[in-house]
């Protein structure tokens, strides 16, 4: 049973436009959420995180939004650049329960077209 | 500084054989994690070490899988009697201290069981 779902396997966006990647979760105990980016043959690279006490966190071109009532989060990349082309993973953990393992979604492959 | 390193980068073995996968965490990181990523899936948690001890091994799929971290630094994931279903990329991550710190991933070891 997938507790973290990324329903779009792929997304194509024009360079300079906004990329919006979505993630849904089912476990209401999740209280910390992260986005990782992965290039082929490399390990995932941490991008940005958000605690469940917040609804928005911003870092440069990357913003993560959390809607707890809908159990939904999204990653916005503005403006998108060709170097952003990668697979993006949403992940969650139950820090409040003392669990630090990350539960990942299946990923969304983002292609930014020059 | 150096990131998380994993050796070997690729391992091909025959069904029934024993394999060892090694992880060198970032220097000074006391927390270490193992994940497994199968084709088309996100990483799945296997085990988490805090120092030398396994703080959470709830993700290990069965007793063929075992991991050690005898001196609180390098870790070895050991798989006995390998099966074709064990074929995956095995990822290691480390974090600075508490399990709440950001997890930094290595490039992974691609295991293929023939």
Cα(A15)–Cα(B82) distance, rounded to whole angstroms? 45
What is the C-alpha to C-alpha distance for residues B94 and B50, in angstroms, rounded to an integer? 10
Position A95 scores a pLDDT of 80
Average pLDDT, rounded, for chain A: 95
| Distance of alpha carbon A91 from alpha carbon A42, whole angstroms | 17
**What is the per-residue pLDDT for B101?**
77
What CA–CA distances, in Å, run from B54 to B30, B35, B67, B78? 12, 14, 8, 14
Using a CB-CB cut-off of 8 Å, the residues of chain A touching B33 are 100-102
- Return the residue matching tokens 């799945």: B44
Q: What is the pLDDT of residues A19-66, one digit of tens each?
A: 999 999 999 999 999 999 999 989 999 999 999 999 999 999 999 999
Nearest residue of chain B to residue A95 (CA atoms): B100
CA neighbor of A39 nearest in space, from A83, A75, A90, A87: A87
Cβ contact B102–A49 (<8 Å): yes
Chain A partners within 8 Å of B56 (Cβ): 99-101
| Residue B108 with chain A: CB contacts under 8 Å | 43
Q: How far does A45 lie from chain B, in Å, by closest CA?
A: 7
Where chain B has pLDDT below 50, the residues are none
Please, are residues B21 and B113 in contact by the beta-carbon 8 Å criterion? no
């Amino acid at each position: 049973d997938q507790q973290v779902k990324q329903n779009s396997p792929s997304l194509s966006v024009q360079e300079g436009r906004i990329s919006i990647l979505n993630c849904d979760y089912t476990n209401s105990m999740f209280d910390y959420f992260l986005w990782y980016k992965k290039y082929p043959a490399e390990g995932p690279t941490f991008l940005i995180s958000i605690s469940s006490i917040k609804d928005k966190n911003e870092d440069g071109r990357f913003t993560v939004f959390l809607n707890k009532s809908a159990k939904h989060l999204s990653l916005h990349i503005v403006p998108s650049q060709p170097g952003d082309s990668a697979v993006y993973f949403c992940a969650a953990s139950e820090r409040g329960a003392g669990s630090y393992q990350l539960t990942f979604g299946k990923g969304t492959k983002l292609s930014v077209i020059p | 500084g150096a990131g998380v390193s994993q050796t070997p980068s690729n391992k091909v073995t025959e069904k029934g054989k024993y394999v060892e996968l090694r992880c060198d965490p970032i220097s000074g990181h006391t927390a270490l994690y193992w994940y497994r990523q199968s084709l088309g899936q996100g990483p799945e948690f296997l085990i988490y070490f805090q120092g030398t001890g396994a703080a959470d091994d709830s993700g290990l799929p069965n007793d063929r899988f075992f991991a050690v971290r005898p001196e609180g630094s390098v870790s070895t994931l050991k798989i006995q009697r390998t099966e074709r279903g064990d074929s995956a990329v095995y990822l290691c991550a480390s974090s600075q201290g508490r399990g709440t710190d950001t997890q930094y991933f290595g490039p992974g070891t691609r295991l293929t069981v023939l």
